[in-house]
Chains A and B, each alone.
Chain A
């Protein structure tokens, strides 16, 4: 009987404020935002989270010309995670290695670029790129990783709106437990800052952040929050069965303890705190713990007026009573909303707490919204706590998809 314990053995990431876990964590503890202002096609300047990794570190110029930004982010993260895991497939088959990458959306960037390109030729479609289809198929980011690393196992994306980063990890866990793969590269990515449509959609919805200082534009729980900062980013993990990791003496960042995915079934965009609370409770039950055992709750809160209140309502319902040591924070206040990468990236930013026992704060809260005033919020400065053994990570998305992932400190 194979072990069903699944552990994290490698992390590769790029965030608007860091291109490695070490740099990312340092900036989360140092209060350093990664949000800047960019030109958005047709829309002028808006705050956004931009990643600064060097794509030529792991790709040739031709790969960059042919591929997509999401593919490039995925390749960077996958290569960094593989190096971190010290797993070497150079002498062995990769047909039992899975690549599972969460995406909020894929193809908007490439389609907008092509429409813009043919607009320069009177919209004559004979100028439409023959790369359009391989760039826009939904599996593109995972497929580009497969091509770059020469991995022949299953490689596909998981479309789950902004819950997708968690879903990549959850799906990999399931595939490892089913015995369908022996090693997984998983998490989430986003190239969304390169599509004006995402910005325009949030703007039309009244949910796009605006602030004179871009570093203060993402401000979950603050009374003056006014919307989402769209960001790009990626975070991919290597996951293995515990016995396999132990056999090769791998470094273990943490163990997947439990999870839940459910649906609101109530609205296209408005969150549903009842279903969110249900998702959190079921994940806690799946991990066979009590709410009071959770040391850090990393919230999904995106800095929208309504969404933050509703998540706080859900958290209050689960952790409001009898959880005096549960700390609650938010990573989007530093990096904006990295969409499909959010769940995976925000979890990574908290994992070092297993060893340093520091909870990174939610920054930019100058005037706490009373409706978001929940017990345990860590505001503006890091908080040292007695211990961090369990981290719960929320990621929710449009069409009412909710995900909660719980990771525990590895104990033999």
Chain B
């Protein structure tokens, strides 16, 4: 999985949990919560959907790694690829 594919997977989740938001111009190096109205419960939704849709676990201590699309890609792409390798 590429970093761009990871970002798309995260954006697909955000589109579902923040359906009123325009996500077309998100900057990937800026914090998501500075660009989209996401509260702490929404953030837990991202974690839950990564678990449900992709089987990826994000420990609470590492929630900060999901701050921006770039950091999501950096943190999640190896996880996606590790899961892929196991299949």
Q: What residues make up the interface of A, taking CB atoms closer than 8 Å to B?
A: 60-62, 65-66, 121, 126-127, 129-131
Contacts and interface: CB of A to CB of B under 8 A. Distances in A.
Given A62-B17, A130-B44, A130-B45, 13 more contacts: A60-B20, A61-B19, A61-B20, A62-B18, A62-B19, A62-B20, A65-B16, A65-B19, A126-B51, A127-B48, A127-B51, A130-B41, A131-B41
Interface size class of B (residues with CB under 8 A): 10 to 19
Contacts of B51: 126-127
A121 B45 CA distance: 17
22 contacts: A60-B20, A61-B19, A61-B20, A62-B17, A62-B18, A62-B19, A62-B20, A65-B16, A65-B17, A65-B19, A66-B41, A121-B52, A126-B51, A127-B48, A127-B51, A127-B52, A129-B48, A130-B41, A130-B44, A130-B45, A130-B48, A131-B41
Interface string B32-75: 00000000010011001001100000000000000000000000
User: Interface residues of B: mostly helix, strand, loop or mixed?
Assistant: helix
Interface in B1-38: 16-20
Contacts of B52: 121, 127
Nearest to A62: B20
Nearest to B18: A62
A119 B58 CA distance: 22
Contacts of B19: 61-62, 65
Nearest to A130: B44
B32 to A, nearest CB: 15
B20 to A, nearest CB: 5
A173 B48 CA distance: 44
A239 B17 CA distance: 37
A127 B45 CA distance: 11
B16 to A, nearest CB: 8
A64 to B, nearest CB: 8
Nearest to B17: A65
A230 B19 CA distance: 32
Contacts of B20: 60-62
A60 B19 CA distance: 9
Nearest to A131: B41
Contacts of B44: 130
A131 B39 CA distance: 13
Contacts of B41: 66, 130-131
A129 B45 CA distance: 8
